Amino acid sequence: MARVSVPDWLRQRADLTPQRTALVVGDESWTFTELDQWVNAAASLIHDWSARPGDRIGLRAANSASFVVAVHAVARLGAVLVPINTRLTDPDVEWQEAEADRKLTLGEGDLASFDGLGQHWRSPDPDREFDLDAWHSIIYTSGTTGRPKGAILTYGNHWWSAVASALNLGLRSDDVWLACLPLYHVGGLSILLRSVICGITAVVQSRFDAAEVNRAIDSQGVSIVSVVSTMLDRMLSERGERPYPPTLRCVLLGGGPIPLQLLQRAVAIGVPVVQTYGMTETASQIVTLAPEDATRKVGSAGKPLMGSQVRIEADGEISVRGPTISPGYLQDVVPRPDGWLHTGDLGYLDEEGYLYVLDRRDDLIISGGENVYPAEVEAALLAHPLVADAGVVGVPDAEWGRCVAAIVALKPGASVSADELIAFCRQRLAGYKVPRLVQFRPSLPRNTAGKLLRRSLQIER
Amino acid sequence: MARVSVPDWLRQRADLTPQRTALVVGDESWTFTELDQWVNAAASLIHDWSARPGDRIGLRAANSASFVVAVHAVARLGAVLVPINTRLTDPDVEWQEAEADRKLTLGEGDLASFDGLGQHWRSPDPDREFDLDAWHSIIYTSGTTGRPKGAILTYGNHWWSAVASALNLGLRSDDVWLACLPLYHVGGLSILLRSVICGITAVVQSRFDAAEVNRAIDSQGVSIVSVVSTMLDRMLSERGERPYPPTLRCVLLGGGPIPLQLLQRAVAIGVPVVQTYGMTETASQIVTLAPEDATRKVGSAGKPLMGSQVRIEADGEISVRGPTISPGYLQDVVPRPDGWLHTGDLGYLDEEGYLYVLDRRDDLIISGGENVYPAEVEAALLAHPLVADAGVVGVPDAEWGRCVAAIVALKPGASVSADELIAFCRQRLAGYKVPRLVQFRPSLPRNTAGKLLRRSLQIER
């Protein structure tokens, strides 16, 4: 569609379903009309702060209703959103600020001034449209190594992502999607865009808290929740024996390789887990299990969403292609000639074409000529009842080139020896995959998206 | 999205949800895998008949499973589908054939040779993709006047239409959409495309039969059915007192102005009627009532689907804009400079922005300087319990310029005089809208889409 422009999504959504609940934060809720009017007011304010169409506007704040308002207000101004990881240090933020050439950055103080704006909203530009080829946001990847890169996501990327998700999971007018992930990550942000495109409620929590998530599922009609595996683990532990209500129709589980044991535990007690694979550069999900395959294909991330494709390169790398894929990175806006994005992840397709994600290619351990996927070894360690967390890396070894080493965090008060854990792994893994070294730490380094930072694991020799 | 290509919809759908039921015709049904394989075989056969990518291929046949296969096979070949109205005379078809420059036309005999193909399907081109800017079909408008025009519809037009419909009506994996409209019309054809894009079942009936439609709703899990008002009228009459099952969640009612009395009758007995407004040039629906507004806004066609816009020109004409709109007609492929399609229909938006369709602009009767919409007068006549059908036109009048004249078909065995009907109208309409002349005929001329052909009404003076 040579250049498609569509009405401002939130504006149209407020016109179509004005009285539906758009947003719930804590005890407060807003209809699409109320959110639309609040966004108008915030857009006027940001405009007063000299932001203009095309400007890049940072957003550095915790999850809140004002954060949601800021996201839509920046789009309404025709500016480009640059969400900033709140866990970053000031020097890191300054570096990003320079790279992204930001006009201004909205912080907690700025967002606080959005409160109460809803009462005196100003007349907006009624003709504002979204060009699907225009940049909606620049999201710095939460990579586990190196400098983060600013991935450009267009309006079209987000549109196709929201639509393809609905085509896979279905769409009900009473759907409620819980966002307990940080909204500055694509996994959280995409929930806000799906909410307005699909006309469903977003429940936003300020941070992940297993008990709060479980409470929202029980009492706020949550039908879909996006989580990473550590979150699901804590939700299930906090939950104990109480079953989830039937209103919960999908626990969308992403964020990297997922221990099979966790999946099986969830499926066994009837949690509707749907595994997904995606990344910042694909505007969130690109390969997702269909709900009807959830129990038949445990461990698989599923199939590409409508419009997208996946293939495995000769070296085992996962490549993806489709309309949700970022046109490029800041400073590096080169179109991919054949449209295939090489993800840096290793995986395979089973005989039915379902994707299984193995691990980051850069984390692969080649030991005595054999490939060892750290995620598989970590999953074996996590299967031990006393292990709370585990990370596996390769360390130099005179005989094998690299050998497998593990860092383990035990559950509070638990005690088990390295030799016991090595013996436990030997029962579950081929010999060359068994860790030669196991060391203990109180906790493991994970980034704000919950991804294990294997490069930060320090093995003592 | 500068140029978006996506995998062949049916191919991907068969990959994603292979075991879901794609198609039901009579007692037979096919999964998406079975349909995909049958389409492969048919595409091979059509290829053997010398059809090549870019060729225009006619399809002149009644509703059947083979018709559905032909639709998808033509796309798989990269050819352009030209569905032909089976009610047309041979000279009309020959004229279209020449205009559309058709390579070949698939008739009933050709489709018969598709039977049994499924057993020995050949390997397809696995890399066939759909460019959303490419032409999917050329559909001759079922206009009520003049030569039909060949409206071009791209893959993107159909894609956006299917998606926008799902965003309005919601999407359930067990949805079943009944096609009792002719598949050569956009209203029928679009059901087949929604089926593969959204992964839902299409039930195809060979022709409209009220009892068959009611039976399918009872016994085949039909959740959505597309009809025009005369069909709904017959369905309700055939149904009598029996309520519809709760599986029926939407009766999508299009095809022109709809008598309010019929809508009220349907709503009163709990039929989930959702009025819609669309045309060939908009790839079917473009303005549709939301299910939640069905009873609150009886008589309105609703609001534009996500991505589309509607406005009323100074003279009352309805204009529409959005990604489902045809790039133009054959022999007349001029892009609309501002993207607004002037529909030729008159209507208005109420204070909440809901569209009400009045009538065709060309059918407007100006009598003594006042506007009379024939549809409103027809609806008043149809409200009479003995009137089966009614058509209203303007006829020259020395005093008023034009005056209102009506042709009425009475129900079998009924008897009522012209004067009685005129008196009946006087109770319901402003004086200048009341017919001066009422004449009786056994039936009224309607086209194959059920639209009244007012130009064919013969008033005897």
Q: Is the pLDDT at B214 greater than 90, yes or no?
A: yes
Question: Domain check: are B329 and B373 in the same one?
Answer: no
Q: Are A178 and A200 in contact (CB under 8 A)?
A: no
Residue A55 has pLDDT above 50, yes or no: yes
Query: What is the per-residue pLDDT for A334?
Result: 60
B448 pLDDT more than 70: no
Backbone angles phi, psi at A374, to 5 degrees: -50, -40
Give domain status of residue B373, yes or no: yes
Q: Are A377 and A426 in contact (CB under 8 A)?
A: no
Q: Do A322 and B353 touch (CB under 8 A)?
A: no
Query: Which tops the pLDDT comparison, B92 or B109?
Result: B109
Q: What pLDDT, on the 0 to 100 scale, is given for residue B335? A: 60
Contacts with A154 from chain B: Cβ below 8 Å:
1
Distance CA A21, CA A98 (A): 38
Domain annotation covers residue B385: yes
B163, B58: one domain: yes
pLDDT-based confidence at residue A122 (cuts at 50, 70, 90):
low
List the alpha helices (DSSP H) in B155-222: 155-169, 186-198, 210-219
pLDDT tens digits along A237-265:
999 989 999 999 999 999 877 888 888 89
Task: Answer yes or no: do B7 and A198 touch at CB < 8 A.
Answer: no
What integer pLDDT is reported at residue B188 of this predicted model? 96
Six-digit token string for A262: 């966790």
Residues B9-13: contacts with CB under 8 Å, at least 24 apart: B9/A306, B9/B75, B9/B130, B9/B193, B9/B196, B9/B197, B10/B35, B10/B36, B10/B39, B10/B72, B10/B75, B10/B76, B10/B196, B11/B36, B11/B76, B11/B124, B11/B128, B12/A304, B12/A306, B12/A307, B13/A306, B13/B196, B13/B197, B13/B199
- Tell me which residue in B6, B154, B309 faces A323 most closely, judged by beta carbons: B6
Residue B136 within a domain: yes
CB–CB contact A303 B173 (8 Å) = no
Average pLDDT of chain B is 91
Do A6 and B292 make contact, defined as CB atoms within 8 angstroms? Answer: no
Please, what is the end-to-end C-alpha distance for chain A in angstroms?
59
For residue A323, the chain B residues in CB contact (below 8 A) are 1, 4, 6
The answer, for B167 touching chain A at a CB cutoff of 8 Å, is yes
Gap from A428 CA to chain B (nearest CA, Å): 32
CA neighbours closer than 13 Å in the CB half-sphere of residue A155? 26
Q: Does the structure show a pLDDT above 60 at A121?
A: no
Q: Do residues B309 and B228 both lie within one domain? A: yes
Residue A37 CB: number of other CB atoms within 10 A? 20
Average pLDDT over residues A370-382: 90
Residues in chain B: 461
Find the helix or strand (DSSP H, E) in which A124 lies.
none
Instruction: Evaluate whether B94 touches B58 at the Cβ level (below 8 Å).
Output: no
**Does residue B461 sit within a domain?**
no
In chain A, the number of structural domains is: 2
For residue A459 the two structure tokens come to 């093995």
pLDDT confidence tier of residue A102, bands split at 50, 70 and 90: confident
Q: What CA–CA distance (Å, rounded) separates B11 from B280?
A: 26
Indicate whether A92 pLDDT > 90. Answer: no
Per-residue pLDDT, B146 = 62
Nearest residue in chain B measured CA to CA from A308: B6
Q: B317-328, pLDDT tens digit by residue?
A: 999 999 999 999
Cβ contact A364:A409 at 8 Å: no
Q: Is the pLDDT of residue A1 over 50?
A: no
- How near does any CA of chain A get to the CA of B28, in Å? 24
Cβ partners under 8 Å of residue B337, min gap 6: none
Q: Provide the residue type at B117 as one letter.
A: L
Supply A140's token pair. Answer: 């710095």
| Confidence band, pLDDT 50/70/90 cuts, at residue B359 | confident
Q: Is residue B179 part of a domain?
A: yes
* Res B1: pLDDT: 47
3-state SS class at B343 = strand
Chain segment A318-339, per-residue pLDDT in tens: 999 999 999 999 876 566 668 8
Q: One-letter amino acid identity for A435?
A: P
Closest partner CB to B307 (pick from A6, A290, A306): A6
Question: What distance in Å separates the CA atoms of residue A248 and residue B65, rounded to the nearest whole number?
Answer: 38
Residue A106: is its pLDDT beyond 90? Answer: yes
* Inter-chain CB proximity A17 and B133 less than 8 Å: no
CB B294 within 8 A of CB B273: yes
Q: What is the pLDDT of residues B18-30, one digit of tens each?
A: 999 999 999 999 9
* Residue B255 sits at the chain A interface (C-beta within 8 Å): no
- The domain in which residue A354 lies consists of 5-359
Using CA of residue B18, residue B22, residue B27, residue B28, what is the dihedral sign?
negative
pLDDT for A146? 62
What's the mean pLDDT when you consider all of chain A?
Answer: 91
| Residue closest to B56 by CA, chosen among B134, B109, B110 | B134
Q: Is the pLDDT of residue B340 over 50?
A: yes
The Cα A384–Cα A207 span in angstroms is: 28
Chain A residues in contact with B167 by the CB 8 A cut-off are 163, 166, 171, 197-199
Closest CA in chain A for residue B302: A16
Residues A147 and A278 in one domain: yes
CA distance B292 to chain A (A): 9
In the predicted structure, residue A143 carries a pLDDT above the cut 60: no
Lowest mean pLDDT among A8-17, A42-51, A157-166, B336-345: B336-345
B306 CB within 8 Å of a chain A CB: yes
Residue B424 is inside which H or E element, if any?
Answer: helix B418-426
Residue B242: left (phi > 0), alpha (psi -120 to 50), or beta? beta
Q: Which of A124-128, A412-416, B213-217 has the lowest mean pLDDT?
A: A124-128
Is B171 in contact with A171 (Cβ distance < 8 A)? yes
In the listed set B359, B380, B413, which residue is the last one of a domain according to the structure? B359
User: Which of A12, A290, A309 is facing B306, going by the closest CB pair?
Assistant: A12
Q: Which residues of A touch B323 (CB under 8 A)?
A: 1, 4, 6
Cα–Cα distance measured from residue A81 to residue A102, given in angstroms and rounded to the nearest whole number = 9
Select the residue of A133, A198, A304 nearest B2 (Cβ to Cβ).
Answer: A133
Report the alpha-carbon distance of residue A121 to residue A249 in Å, rounded.
37
Position A37 pLDDT exceeds 60: yes
Span B407-436, pLDDT tens digits: 999 999 999 999 999 999 999 988 889 999
Which CATH number do you get for residue B140?
Answer: 3.40.50.12780
Residues 6+ apart with CB under 8 A from A97: A58, A105
The residue from B309, B339, B359 where one domain ends is B359
Region of poorest pLDDT, from A355-364, B175-184, B301-310: A355-364
Given B1, B163, B199, which is nearest A4 (Cβ)? B1
Cα B155 from chain centre: 18
Phi, psi values for residue A115, rounded to 5°? -60, 135
For B446, residues 6+ apart whose C-beta sits below 8 A from its C-beta are B230, B452, B453
Q: Which of B215, B230, B341, B354 is closest to B292 using CA atoms?
A: B354
Q: Which of B6, B13, B133 sits opposite A2 (nearest CB)?
A: B133
Residue for token pair 């997208």: A308
Among A185-194, B136-145, B198-207, B345-354, the range scoring the smallest mean pLDDT is B136-145
Could you say which of B7, B132, B154 has the minimum Cβ distance to residue A309?
B7
pLDDT at position A196, please? 98
CATH at A415: 3.30.300.30
- Token pair 């990579």 in the structure block, residue: A143
Backbone angles phi, psi at B208, to 5 degrees: -75, 125
Set of chain A residues whose Cβ sits within 8 Å of the Cβ of B198:
167
- Tell whether A366 is within 8 A of chain B (Cβ): no
Which residues in chain A have their CB less than 8 angstroms from residue B322's CB? 6
Nearest CB to B170; choose among A13, A133, A172: A172
- The count of residues in chain A is 461
- Alpha carbon separation from A431 to A87, A370, A378, A426, B356 (Å, rounded): 39, 11, 15, 7, 73
Q: Does residue A461 sit within a domain?
A: no
Do A250 and A381 reside in the same domain of the chain?
no
* A93 and A223 inside one domain: yes
Residue A198 in contact with partner chain B when CB distance is under 8 A: yes
Q: How far is B157 from chain A (nearest CA, A)?
A: 9
Q: Which of B305, B304, B324 is nearest to B193 (CA)?
A: B324
Q: How confident is the model at residue B87 (pLDDT cuts 50, 70, 90)?
A: confident
To the nearest whole Å, the CA of B340 is away from the closest chain A CA by 12
* A455–B contact, CB cutoff 8 A: no
Please state the rounded mean pLDDT for residues A426-451: 88
Is residue B313 domain-shared with residue B395, that is, in the same domain? no
Q: What local confidence, expressed as pLDDT, does residue B100 receive?
A: 82
Is A333 touching B (CB cutoff 8 A)? no
In this structure, are residues A255 and A226 in contact, taking their beta carbons and an 8 Å threshold?
no
B29 touches chain A (CB under 8 A): no
Contacting residues of A for B156, CB less than 8 Å apart: 1, 4
- What band does B94 get if pLDDT is binned at 50, 70 and 90? confident
Looking at the fold, whether B122 and B228 belong to one and the same domain comes out as yes
Q: Which of chain A's residues have a Cβ under 8 Å away from the Cβ of B171?
A: 166-167, 170-171
Question: What is the average pLDDT across A355-376?
Answer: 88
Please report the DSSP string for B308-321 in residue order: -EEEE-TTSEEEEE
Q: Is residue A147 part of a domain?
A: yes
- Claim to verify: residue B434 and residue B343 sit in the same structural domain: no
Q: Are A201 and A175 in contact (CB under 8 A)?
A: yes
Cα Dmax for chain A: 73
The pLDDT score that the predictor gives to residue B194 is 98
Query: Cβ(B140)–Cβ(B149) under 8 Å?
Result: yes
Q: Are residues A221 and A315 in the same domain?
A: yes
Q: Are residues A308 and A451 in the same domain?
A: no
Tokens of B403: 């005056």
Count interface pairs A-B at CB distance under 8 A. 98
Q: A1 vs B156: CB contact, 8 Å cut-off?
A: yes
Domain boundary among A359, A385, A402: A359
Q: Within this chain, do residues A289 and A405 fall inside the same structural domain, yes or no?
A: no
Specify the pTM. Answer: 0.90
CA A31, CA A49: separation in Å to the nearest integer? 27
Chain centroid to CA B243: 26
Residue A238 lies in a domain: yes
Inter-CA distances, B78 with B8, B47, B135, Å: 10, 10, 9
pLDDT of residue B66: 97
Is the torsion defined by CA of B3, B9, B14, B16 positive or negative? positive
Q: What is the ipTM of this complex?
A: 0.88
Whether the predicted pLDDT of B383 surpasses 80: yes
Say if residue A142's pLDDT is above 70. no
Query: Are the Cβ atoms of A6 and B322 closer than 8 angstroms?
Result: yes
